[in-house]
Amino acid sequence: MVVVRAAVLPSVGSPLEITGIHLPEPGPGQVRVRLAAAGVCHSDLSLSDGTMRVPVPAVLGHEGAGTVVAVGEGVTHVAPGDGVVLNWAPSCGSCHHCGIGEVWLCTEALSGTGRVHAVTEDGTELHPGLNVGAFAEETVVAAACVLPVPEGVPLADAALLGCAVLTGYGAVHHAARVRRGESVAVFGVGGVGLSALQAARIAGAGPIVAVDVSPEKEALARAAGATDFVVASATTAREIRALTGGRGADAAVECVGRAVTIRTAWDSTRRGGRTTVVGIGGKDQQVSFHALEIFHWGRSLTGCVYGNADPAADLPVLAEHVRAGRLDLSALVTDRIALDGIPAAFDNMLAGKGGRALVVF
């Protein structure tokens, strides 16, 4: 076993503990990775507060990239020394959803969260929060959870491809299917929202309206591709209609996961438009619609899991955008922190501050 530092969630609602854990050597079909960087995603916060349920105690962190240190028997697609992106939701390839091409809905994608991942120094068994346990100096994951870093993508920045960029890009290109010249409204200017704004720009959309509660995020949003910025209020839908010829946006992408934001995104979408919900909300976030408005407006309202993406197919596409200068990964990062900075990053997310915080090892 190897001892590394990690951010451990002892129980739901408890503060994270930065502590030493004992990682096993990789077994058959497993890979040990030395992390270069890990993004602090809102899903990690949702795991810590119980909005999303996984076995605990757990090592959190699911958006990461690093270097392969060792591989177990049977692993052939990566070797020690290779740079890899962690894939927290690997598809099994054999369930119903995988069989019809919906790999992002794979029924076995999170089956690895129940395994014993490591132990603390007192022998307490730990689980990997979302399969990969990226908030640690090193991790051991299933071989399906690693994908080679595409050529030309810096290793630390590649961590963002593992969740924020795949989700935001996929929400625009796969779920909302934004076409050139269409208007787009993106609600929530965090890591995923900034990725969605860049994706809308890459798609040739316009106008592109960013919405956030924090006026301080306007510069970030405009740098990512927003042509307009709206501070969230009771008049948001009206403001977006005014910016889109009085009709409303062709597509709205909600990256917050709150009932009021989902409802506002719906109200901001034109008749016949598409509202895509990316944000993960709790069961207490109830959204209401009446039957007549559903008929009258003819809008679609869809959920979006992991950007409706296939990481193996989408990573090369994203890498080409990075190499061509169309996709700026570093522009998503507003804070580069150490492991012990994760709790403060959680606080900033709750306060609506900044874009992506990146743990750099």
Q: Spell out, as residue ranges, where the chain has pLDDT lower than 70.
A: none
Kindly report the pTM of this predicted structure.
Answer: 0.93
Which pLDDT value is given to residue 92? Answer: 93
Which pLDDT value is given to residue 48? Answer: 87
Region of 248 on the Ramachandran plot (φ > 0 left; ψ -120 to 50 alpha; else beta): left
Please give the DSSP secondary-structure letter assigned to residue 130: T
Strands 146-148 and 83-86: antiparallel
126 touches 58 (CB < 8 A): yes
The whole-angstrom separation of Cα 279 and Cα 184 is: 16
In the chain the domains, ranked by start, together with CATH numbers, are: 2-162+328-360 (3.90.180.10), 168-304 (3.40.50.720)
Residue type, 122: D
Which pLDDT value is given to residue 252? Answer: 98
Which pLDDT value is given to residue 354? Answer: 82
Which pLDDT value is given to residue 317? Answer: 95
